[in-house]
Structure 1
Amino acid sequence: MSTRQILGSLACGAVLLAGVPACSAKPADKPQPSSSGSSDSTNGGSSTGSTAADLLKLGVEQGQAGDYDAAKASFEKVLAAEADNKFAWFNLGFIAQSRNQADEAISNYDKALAADADYKPALYNKAIALEGREPTTSMEIYRKVVSIDDKSSTAYLRLGMLLSKSGDEEAARDAFKAAIRLDKGLTSSVPAKYRPTPTARSSASAGR
C-alpha cells in the first residue's frame, strides 16, 4: 500500500491522519489514516481559539493531498501556538514514519504521549515503529493499547505476530483468538497454525 493510498482512504473511527481505528481493519506496516482534524481541550492540548484548529485541519488536508512538506509546516505552526497539542505531534510522527524516519517518528509520538499517556493512535503507531528494533517494548505497548480498548483487533493481531516470533506460542494463540473474535476478516492474516479448526458443522455447510 502506497503512502498516497493510505492518505487517500479513511480509517473508521481514527482521529487524524493516522492511528488505530476504532473499528476493525486489516493491519498495514504503515499507520492508517482518517480525515478528521478537529482539536479540543478534551482530546488534545488546550485550545487557543480557531487558529490552531484551522491549521490542524489544513495540515490534514495537505497531507491527504500528498503535500507532506506543507502539512508538516502547518502542524509546526499549530505547535508554535500550542506546544502540547497531541494531534499536531501525532501527525508529525505519522509524516516521519511514512518517510521511514523512525527515530523522528518515535520522538514525535512520545511528545504526543507526554500530553496524553493513553492516546491510542500514538501508542499504536509507536508500537509499529518499534516492532523490528525493540520487539519487547512493542509488545508492551500493544498490551497497553488492548488494556485501554479491548476491541482493538489489529493490536491483538500484531501482538500475536510478535509473541509468535518470540516463541511464546500459547500467548500468541490467545492474542490471535482475540483478534479473530473481534474481526473474522483478520483470519487470513493469522498464521495457519494459529487459525481455528473448522468444525464438522461448518465444514458441512461450506460443502453445500
Structure 2
Amino acid sequence: MRTRQILGSLACGAVLLTGATGCSEESPGKPQPSNSGNSDKPNGGDNTGAASADLLKLGVEQGQAGKLDEAKATFEKVLDADENNKFAWFNLGFIAQSRNQNDEAISSYDKALAADASYKPALYNKAIALESTEPTKSVDIYRKVVSIDSKASTAYLRLGTLLSQSGDTAGARNAFSTAIRLDKRLASSVPAKYRAAPTASSSARAGR
C-alpha cells in the first residue's frame, strides 16, 4: 500500500503535515506540508508496513478534519509498531510546530532525519524552526536542502533572507536571484534592493 505523509491545507493544495521544499505555491513563511513521498513505504516487514500505512492514512484523515490531538495519537501508534517511521515522526513534528512547540518539533524532525538524513520535508521545517534561535544552523540546513533539490525555490528564498540578515549581501543576492529564477511569483517576497535592477538598454527604452 502506498502511503501519504500527511494532510492539510498549508501548501500546494496538499496534505496537512509534510514540508514541501520545492513547491512554489506554499506560503514561504510557514512550515510546510508535502505532497512528495506517496510512493514511499513505511519501514518494517509486510504486516508491520501494512498496519503502519493504514494508521498513517487514518492520521492524515484526522488531520484533514482538524482533529490534531487524534492525529497525534494515531501517529504515536505508528511509532509503537515502527519506531523509525519517518512519516510519523515528521507529522508529529509538524503538529508540534503548528502549535509553536519548536523544541518538540525539532526533536521529532531529528528522529525523522535519523531514519532518512536527506528527507527534505523534515530538513525544511527544521530549518524554519531554527531561524530565530540558531540562524547559522538554519542556513546550513537550507544549503543542504538546495543541494538535494536544486529547484527548492522557497528554500532559496529563506536562505537569502538569513544571509541578508547576517550581512552576506552577495550570498543573499545569489540566493534571491535563484529563487526568482525558479519561481517569478516569489519576487514580491524579495527585498527591493535584491531585485534585479533594470539594464541600461531597458532604461533607455523606457525614457523614449
Pairwise TM-score range, normalised by the shorter structure: 0.7 to 0.9
Who is 1:64 aligned against? 64
Q: 1:123·1:141 contact (CA, 8 Å) conserved in 2? A: yes
Normalised to the residue count of structure 2, the TM-score between the two structures is 0.86
- 2:133 aligns to what SS in structure 1? coil
Alpha-carbon RMSD: 2.5
SS at match of 1:53: helix
Inter-CA distance 59–174: structure 2 relative to 1 (3 Å threshold): same
Alpha-carbon shift at residue 50 of structure 1 (Å): 1.9
Deviations 1:12-68, CA, capped at 9 Å, x for gaps: 6x7762202443235433222246885744xx4335232110110111111121110
State whether structure 2 residue 44 is matched by structure 1 residue 46.
yes
Q: Which runs of 5+ in 2 are unaligned?
A: 1-6
Structure 1 range deviating more: 190-199 or 67-76: 190-199
Question: C-alpha offsets along residues 124-173 of structure 1, whole Å, 9 cap, x if unaligned?
Answer: 00000000000000000000000001100000000000000000101000
Q: Relative to 1, partners in 2 of residues 1:69 and 1:59: Cα closer, same or farther, differing over 3 Å?
A: same
Q: Does the aligned pair in 1 maintain the 2:17–2:91 contact within 8 Å? A: yes
Compared CA separation, residues 95 and 163, structure 1 to 2 (3 A): same
Q: Distance in 2 between the 1:54 and 1:203 partners?
A: 63
Deviation string, structure 1 residues 99-122 (Cα, Å, up to 9, x no partner): 000000000000000000000000
Q: Secondary structure at the match of 2:8?
A: helix
1:202 and 1:65, CA in 2 relative to 1: closer, same or farther beyond 3 A?
farther
Amino acid at match of 1:175: A
Aligned length, in residue pairs: 198
Identity %: 69
Alignment of 1:56-205 (within 5 A): 56-199=56-199, 200-201=201-202
